[in-house]
């Protein structure tokens, strides 16, 4: 959903991406900077500082957008860069959710950790279904309402509002809906 919006706002993102490219940042270095921000967010969640974690998480999302834009505007799109970006995305989600589990989500009671695990698995499945279906020949499978950008935005804003647990529940619902939507779409396309 936000990935479609990203294509429409490239006119605003491209100048920022060009500035990063001129400053000497490579797409892969920006991907790694995003990973560092996710580690910081995970630690902040772990020490029960959700508002700061949410802010840092939004910074992580910024670097997730800008790394691909720098690759595009600088002509440095590469197969390895795509692989690195996907791997870092999975680690980013894992670190964030592990931090949330460690810090706790009291508004969800003693089984709050289970909601967080379900959110982590749901996020991984959304990405895995897309990768597997596209490898099988489905074409670009970016359907659904809970791609990674949406999940980061929900968690970041929810944490800044001190509603992390509710944001996690929303991520669970949306990721499983998106996973089913992608499976159905893949089935139709690959029949």
Q: Can you give the CATH number for the domain in which 74 is found?
A: 1.20.120.1760
pLDDT of the residue at 1: 56
User: How many domains in the chain?
Assistant: 1
Range 24-38 burial, b when 16+ CB lie within 10 A, else e: ebbbbebbebbbebb
pLDDT of residue 168: 97
Residue of 64, 67, 85, 89 with catalytic role: 89
**Residue 18: its pLDDT value, please?**
93
Check if 89 is active-site.
Answer: yes
Q: Which domain holds residue 20?
A: 2-190
Residue 106 is predicted with a pLDDT of 87
Blockwise average pLDDT, block size 10, the chain, 191 residues: 60 89 95 97 97 96 92 92 94 96 91 96 96 95 90 96 96 97 96 90
Query: What pLDDT score was predicted for residue 9?
Result: 66
- The predicted pLDDT at position 3 comes to 57
């Amino acid at each position: 959903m936000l990935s479609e919006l990203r294509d429409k706002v490239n006119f605003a993102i491209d100048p920022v991406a060009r500035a990063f490219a001129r400053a000497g940042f490579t797409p892969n270095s920006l991907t790694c900077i995003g990973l560092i921000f996710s580690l910081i967010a995970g630690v902040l969640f772990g020490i029960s500082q959700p508002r700061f974690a949410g802010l840092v998480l939004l910074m992580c999302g910024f670097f997730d957008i800008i790394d691909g834009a720098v690759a595009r505007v600088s002509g440095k799109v590469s197969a390895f860069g795509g692989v690195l970006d996907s791997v870092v995305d999975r680690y980013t989600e894992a670190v964030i959710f592990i931090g949330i589990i460690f810090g706790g989500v009291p508004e969800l009671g003693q089984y709050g950790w289970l909601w967080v695990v379900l959110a982590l698995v749901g996020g991984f499945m959304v990405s895995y279904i897309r990768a597997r279906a596209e490898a099988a020949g489905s074409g670009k499978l970016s359907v659904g309402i809970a791609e990674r950008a949406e999940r980061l935005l929900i968690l970041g804003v929810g944490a800044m509002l001190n509603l992390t647990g509710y944001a996690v529940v929303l991520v669970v619902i949306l990721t499983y809906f998106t996973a089913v939507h992608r499976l159905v779409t893949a089935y139709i396309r690959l029949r």
